[in-house]
Structure 1
Amino acid sequence: MTEYPNLLSRLLLRRGFASQFAFPITDSRKLTRRLEILERLLPRPRPRHLEPLTAPIVVAGLPRTGSTWLQTLLCAHPDVAYITHLTHHFPTCFRAANLVTGLLGIDAKGERFIGDSVVHSLKSPSEGTLFWGEWLGWDPACLTYDPVRLADLGPGTIRDVHDTLSRVVALFGPGKRFFTKNPAFIPYVPALSGLFPDARIIHLVRDPRPTANSMIKLLRACRTQLATVKASGRPLSMRLDDFVPYPRLPRLAEYVGRFGADDVRATARLWRDAALFMEDLAPSLPNLLTVRFESVLADPAGSVARILEFCRLSPLPADNPAMAALYARTGKVAHVNDYGDYALVADICREAMARLGYDPDRPAGNVGAAGAAAFRRLL
């Protein structure tokens, strides 16, 4: 159930929450134009007042690996800044949007359309797909792999990335570290490491057997929600007949054409390819930490402490009640999953599983020996 702090929030946000998607797709041009007028009237932060991005934190991992929950844990740190859902919906006027909603107390809190027990609000962290999609040239309807390096972006895009994200961070106050995660990031890690040479990159992995199944669940939820939004009659900001929420790895189009996007043989191969893709990159990424989500589930407080140390963020007090509550909720879900084909997934991913410390012959979620040396500082 969606919660609204006041009647105005309910009136303004109810339809929007019902139309949520993997990224904003409903047409909000009228409201955006009004907010853009206010944005132009606001004093623009002077360059000397904007702090340069220092060692941003980037989480790259396949969909359904627990990245949203890891994001929740890390973004609870007082020194972390991020793109919120509100900022994501209004990329050209996010300062005005934050000002208006703050003055009027407008917000909403509810479960994601995926039905995965994850609750978000206007102020919670977002994947920022509209921002990254524009900068990196993403086409949600295209499945082909398009490798992007820093040189492909051009100086104008590079300046826009740093200027925009500095203004996002400024919303949180001075001295903050920028955090971002997106399940589409893996093929673009070379470009991101070029944009942010001092970035702390976290490669989040999860046992491929539940992951491959859960990716199909996500695909079906996206297709159902897209049909629901289109049937509602609300104007859309783009023409979109289908959306496959998987990263555009080199062989994605081949797997979808051969097996179908909703086949575990395709998603298992994507898990394998993503693991090997990151292994190939590892020698060129000195600040890479590979984290198994099973480690976070087993010891959330200890895992977060090690991740914060890697990110060079100050440790959190052991008696922090807000974090204690988050740690207690880690792994607790209200939904039930019905997954299968574990033996098939294990056979496809066997070699990559062993490299990451998963035993394909033991029950899902069991973590064995540490992974290959290429995966530095495996957690």
Structure 2
Amino acid sequence: MQSDRPVFVVGCPRSGTTMLQLMLHSHQRIAVPPETRFVGTAYFSRRMYGDMRLADHRRKLAKWIANGRNTKFRELGLDTADFVQAAMLGPGSLGSVIGMVFKSYAERFGKPRWGDKRPSYYRHVEILTRLFPDAQFVHIVRDGRDCVASLKEMPWYKPDSIGAMANWAEAIDFGRRHARKLPADTFYQLRYEDLTADPEAELKKLCTFIGEDYDPAMCEPHHMAEVAVPSHKVWHSNTHQEVTTARTGSWASRLEPWEIALAEDVLGERLAHHGYELSSAPKAERQHVAAYKDAASKRRSARLRKYNRDRFSRLREPGPIAALLTDGQRRLAGLPQQRTRELVAR
């Protein structure tokens, strides 16, 4: 029996998550849409929308997803009315309404399986597992110095290079935690450098993890860039070209000497753990190390505040959370195999 488990791509921004999204989307059975911005917001605002066992509440949430100014729904090429109707007729849980977007997107391409990609999901794996209990996660890791060099050039990235280092360290630490705690068939890590150097070998291993036969089209993801990468995202221009190793190690010419020294000082153990060689950079200056520690502390504090608010919200859930859209999700809930657009509750 072929798998229908959802697949989530995570990792520090500028780690190759979009390239990996396109590789998965190139598979004949899997659809992974452009990056959206409604999953986390819908989850954290779930009390506002109420019990999803009520069709009117499903309609309310679906309309917000489809019409919200920042949800990116319009970039998916889906009909709003059709999606709202599908959400209303779908299972009565928060995860089901959210997941219906991705299920509908997969149906647009005639594919039976869906995924999603957003770098910051590495912080929300536990939440995504609440929403989609059978989810699989693929964490792509890239040399932190290359990530920092790329992030500091992005028009949408507000922190400076020190903040980017704290961002990469956070992603790596979460990856280690997930690798330690999650089942082997749930969490998988691969390196950007290995994927670009030998796409076929790495994608075959990835396909084994997600339970799919390898599809050679995955090695030519640029063919899908016109479909699955919005044209306004000019920073993803490399995805329209063939897979290349040209950017690997470019940090050496893109970072200032003090940035290299700081990155290797505060990220050195993490870099070495993932097989990245350190240069002979001098020891970082004290004020730069202090600035990094401050940036990391602020990220940690903000994350803990959000986590604690959510723990409090879980004491009184407004309704069912877990999706019931796949055979695995329904099996975990003790329900029979699904029928097309089955109405679970009104």
**Which TM-score tier does this pair reach, normalised by the shorter chain?**
0.5 to 0.7
Offset at 1:321?
A: 10
Alignment map for 1:260-279 (pairs within 5 Å): 261-262=159-160, 264-279=161-176
Is contact 1:127-1:181 (8 Å) kept? yes
Offset at 1:199?
A: 1.9
Q: Helix, strand or coil for the counterpart of 1:201?
A: strand
What amino acid does structure 2 have at the position aligned with 1:211? C
Distance in 2, Cα, partners of 1:322 & 1:290: 18
Q: Does 1:200 align with 2:136?
A: yes
Which residue is equivalent to 2:198?
Answer: 299
Alignment map for 1:97-112 (pairs within 5 Å): none
Which residue is equivalent to 1:283?
Answer: 180
Is contact 1:59-1:180 (8 Å) kept? yes
Offset at 1:329?
A: 1.2
Which residue is equivalent to 2:110?
Answer: 173
Offset at 1:137?
A: 5.2
Distance in 2, Cα, partners of 1:62 & 1:136: 22
What amino acid does structure 2 have at the position aligned with 1:284? K
- The percent of aligned pairs where both chains have the same amino acid is 25
Structure 1's 136 and 302: CA in aligned 2 closer, same or farther, altered over 3 A? farther
Q: 1:338 aligns with which of 230, 241, 254?
A: 254
Alignment map for 1:206-217 (pairs within 5 Å): 206-217=142-153
Is contact 2:144-2:168 (8 Å) kept? yes
Offset at 1:289?
A: 0.9
Offset at 1:127?
A: 0.9
Deviation digits for residues 303-327 of structure 1, max 9, x if unmatched?
112111211111125xx69839879
Offset at 1:196?
A: 2.3
Greater share of helix residues, 1 or 2? 2
Offset at 1:60?
A: 0.6
Q: 2:20 aligns with which of 58, 64, 70?
A: 70
Q: 2:7 aligns with which of 57, 69, 81?
A: 57
Q: Which has the higher relative contact order, 1 or 2, with Cα contacts under 8 A spaced 6 or more apart? A: 2
Q: Does 1:349 align with 2:241?
A: no
Is contact 1:74-1:304 (8 Å) kept? no
Deviation digits for residues 195-217 of structure 1, max 9, x if unmatched?
22322211111001111121121
Deviation digits for residues 140-163 of structure 1, max 9, x if unmatched?
99xxxxxxxxxxxxx742231233
Q: Helix, strand or coil for the counterpart of 2:120?
A: coil
What amino acid does structure 1 have at the position aligned with 2:15? T
Is contact 1:56-1:200 (8 Å) kept? yes
Distance in 2, Cα, partners of 1:136 & 1:213: 32
Alignment map for 1:93-172 (pairs within 5 Å): 126-136=34-44, 156-172=93-109
Q: 1:182 aligns with which of 112, 115, 118?
A: 118
Distance in 1, Cα, partners of 2:218 & 2:195: 18
What amino acid does structure 1 have at the position aligned with 2:36? G
Is contact 2:195-2:202 (8 Å) kept? yes
Is contact 1:54-1:198 (8 Å) kept? no
Calculate the TM-score normalised by the size of structure 1. Answer: 0.49
Deviation digits for residues 215-258 of structure 1, max 9, x if unmatched?
1212xx12xxxxxxxxxxxxxxxxxxxx74xxxxxxxxxxxxxx
Q: Helix, strand or coil for the counterpart of 1:77?
A: coil
What amino acid does structure 1 have at the position aligned with 2:181? S
Structure 1's 357 and 134: CA in aligned 2 closer, same or farther, altered over 3 A? same
Which residue is equivalent to 2:212?
Answer: 313
Distance in 2, Cα, partners of 1:55 & 1:207: 29
Which residue is equivalent to 2:313?
Answer: none
Distance in 2, Cα, partners of 1:324 & 1:158: 29
Distance in 2, Cα, partners of 1:72 & 1:321: 8
CA RMSD of aligned residues (A): 3.3
Q: Helix, strand or coil for the counterpart of 1:212?
A: helix
Distance in 2, Cα, partners of 1:168 & 1:190: 24
Alignment map for 1:357-376 (pairs within 5 Å): 357-361=275-279
Distance in 2, Cα, partners of 1:362 & 1:157: 51
Is contact 1:213-1:339 (8 Å) kept? yes
Structure 2: give runs of 5+ residues left out of the alignment.
47-68, 71-91, 224-238, 282-346
Offset at 1:57?
A: 1.0
